[in-house]
């Protein structure tokens, strides 16, 4: 099933550098992206340490910057944390929330995602809630069940009437494996997510929420993914570390 593509919804292509990159990659990425008239909104999420450098380089460009994480705390004695307010003040527009690597390795769960989303929205950042099923859950046909739980628990008490979030559907089995989901299968899941949002909020919120696909996106599958009516953007890991490759992916997005 398909939703009708919402007119004038600008696609979004995000780069998640994870624990990679440095000043050299910032320079080469900026050089290959800046001054290109992309139809999509482009967002780069470097490691925390490089947010300032990235923001400085992109000051006069159309490209936005996001963080890969955000604290669930507002302020206080929380060593090693970075708050939503600090990220906003630095100039970030987005923050990833609940990436599967954070869930797996750093014990994040739907409850912490909910707090992080709340903090982000309070500070004027747009959170990108990452959801997706594991290989085992996929094999047991539990995808819809897992996604419903992730959405309802992470968005509990989150009011989206005045503010918006993005969702990134990243099947865990597709991340870093070179085994991207088939575009038709991804479309079906995105449609399901949109229906969930409609049930939880409204038709308008469901249509306005940009739902990205992530997991082994590259220049060979980006275009087909973006052609799907419910895929509004891409969250790119490995391929975003090659500036020429990432810029090629960004060029596939068209405003519909």
Kindly list the catalytic residues.
99, 170
CB of 248 to ligand 13P, least distance (A): 14
Least Å distance between CB 61 and ligand 13P?
22
Please state, in angstroms and rounded to a whole number, the distance separating the CA atoms of residues 26 and 241: 10
Among candidate residues 91, 108, 87, 112, the one with its CA nearest the CA of residue 99: 108
Closest CA to 112 of 168, 165, 69: 69
> Is residue 175 a contact point for ligand 13P (CB under 6 A)?
yes
What are 3-7's contacts with CB under 8 Å, separation 24+? 3/191, 3/194, 3/206, 3/207, 3/229, 3/230, 4/229, 5/229, 5/256, 6/207, 6/208, 7/256
Compute the least distance from the CB of residue 241 to ligand 13P, in Å.
9
Q: Which is nearer to ligand 13P, 66 or 191 (CB)?
A: 66
Residue of 143, 216, 221, 247 interacting with ligand 13P (CB under 6 A): 216
Closest CB to ligand 13P among 176 and 204?
Answer: 176
Examine residue 132 and tell whether it contacts ligand 13P (CB under 6 A).
no
Residue 225 lies near ligand 13P (rule: CB under 6 A): no
Q: Is 22 annotated as a binding residue?
A: no
Does 22 participate in binding ligand 13P (rule CB under 6 A)? no
């Amino acid at each position: 099933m398909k939703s009708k593509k919402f007119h004038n919804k600008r696609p979004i292509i995000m780069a998640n550098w994870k624990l990679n990159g440095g000043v050299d990659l910032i320079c080469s990425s900026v050089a290959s992206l800046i001054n290109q008239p992309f139809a999509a909104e482009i967002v780069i999420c470097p490691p925390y340490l490089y947010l300032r450098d990235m923001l400085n380089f992109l000051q006069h460009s159309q490209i936005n910057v996001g963080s890969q994480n955000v604290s669930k705390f507002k302020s206080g004695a929380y060593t090693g944390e970075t708050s939503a307010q600090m990220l906003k003040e630095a100039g970030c527009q987005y923050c990833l929330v609940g990436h599967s690597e954070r869930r797996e390795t750093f014990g994040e769960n739907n409850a912490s995602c909910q707090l992080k989303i709340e903090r982000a929205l309070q500070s004027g950042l747009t959170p990108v809630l990452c959801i997706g099923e594991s290989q085992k859950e996929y094999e047991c046909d539990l995808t819809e069940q897992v996604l419903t739980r992730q959405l309802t628990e992470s968005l509990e008490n989150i009011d989206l009437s005045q503010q918006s979030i993005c969702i990134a559907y990243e099947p865990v089995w597709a991340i870093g494996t070179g085994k991207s989901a088939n575009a038709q299968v991804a479309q079906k899941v995105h449609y399901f997510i949109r229906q969930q949002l409609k049930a939880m909020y409204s038709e308008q919120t469901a249509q306005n929420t940009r739902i990205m696909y992530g997991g082994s996106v590259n220049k060979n599958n980006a275009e087909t993914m973006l052609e799907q009516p419910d895929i509004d953007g891409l969250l790119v890991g490995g391929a975003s570390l090659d500036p020429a490759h990432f810029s090629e992916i960004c060029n596939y997005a068209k405003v519909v």
